[in-house]
Amino acid sequence: MTKAKASPKKAGPVDDHFLDAAARLFRQKGFEATTVRDIARAAGVLPGSLHYRYPTKADLLLALMKRGVEADLGCLRAAISGVREPVERLRLALRARLRFLLSRDAPQVVLYDWRSLKGRAREEMIRYRDQYEAFWKGLLYEAAGSGWLRPDIDLRLLRLLVFGAINGAALWYSRGGPRTPDEIADAFWGLIAYGVLDEARRPHDVDTALRALSAMEVGVGDG
């Protein structure tokens, strides 16, 4: 052991610099396609210096992802603090999430380089992800409890639907596009909240249709 195994100090601006450089490259080319030499060059430093703070490339990835999830949660909490109405909290959180996702590299690395996490690092990130998910589960649970949502909605699927849509935006959003992240978030929420079928031409008994869908909860196969 030539150096302390678990250094007591907690991240500084220099670490941020390294992590930011790595995050940009990981997002652009992926973890596996990025070399430590690439990262060092992008950070304006020689490979050895990188190694001093992050002994392995995987350590760098883990640190970067952890910081990403923490910052994400921070943004979310800040965005909804002081707002009580559950559906509005949901809308504001979605805005914050999309804004964060599209303005930083780290959250996209978290999404798309998950495969590169192995062993201990993977387990550690799973804990972080669970914590992050719990936040959203709570938000949806509040909204459902408030009575604003249809009572027969599967909250898990709703969460996965919304998150898939939001996360997918990282793949197609471009800064020059016709809409801002906030507008996209609101538009998505508008579609999901009110539905896309024209009310005037919905099936005569919507309730029947919905009940048919929710009946699948007990697992009717598709033949």
Q: Does 167 bind its own copies (CB under 8 A)?
A: yes
Q: At 168, which amino acid appears?
A: G
The option from DNA, its own copies, none interacting with 201 (CB < 5 to 8 A, set by class) reads its own copies
Q: How far apart are CA 102 and CA 175, in angstroms?
A: 9
> Which positions from 24 to 63 touch DNA by CB under 7 A, shown as an x/- string?
----------xxxxx------xxxxx-xxx-xxxx-----
Residue in the structure block whose two tokens are 């790595």? 22
Q: Does 37 bind its own copies (CB under 8 A)?
A: no
Residues 124-163 that bind its own copies (CB under 8 A): 147-151, 153-154, 157-158, 160-163
Residues binding DNA: what is the number (CB under 7 A)? 21
Burial of 99 (0-12, 13-18, 19+ CB in 10 A): middle
The option from DNA, its own copies, none interacting with 14 (CB < 5 to 8 A, set by class) reads DNA
Q: Hey, what's the torsion of the CAs at 148, 152, 157, 162, to 10 degrees?
A: -20
CB of 73 to its own copies, least distance (A): 20
Measured from the CB atom, the residue of 16 and 59 that comes closer to its own copies is 59
Q: How far apart are CA 51 and CA 67, in angstroms?
A: 19
CB 117 within 8 A of CB 30: no
Find the length of the chain. 223
Q: How far apart are CA 137 and CA 121, in angstroms?
A: 24
CB of 55 to DNA, least distance (A): 5
CB 79 within 8 A of CB 93: yes
CB of 30 to DNA, least distance (A): 11
| CA-wise closest residue to 22 among 35, 34, 39, 38 | 39
The option from its own copies, DNA, none interacting with 9 (CB < 5 to 8 A, set by class) reads DNA
Residues that bind DNA (CB under 7 A): 2, 9, 12, 14, 34-38, 45-49, 51-53, 55-58
Residues that bind its own copies (CB under 8 A): 28-30, 32-33, 87, 112, 115-116, 147-151, 153-154, 157-158, 160-169, 171-172, 178-180, 182-184, 186-188, 190-199, 201-202, 206, 209-210, 213, 216, 219-222
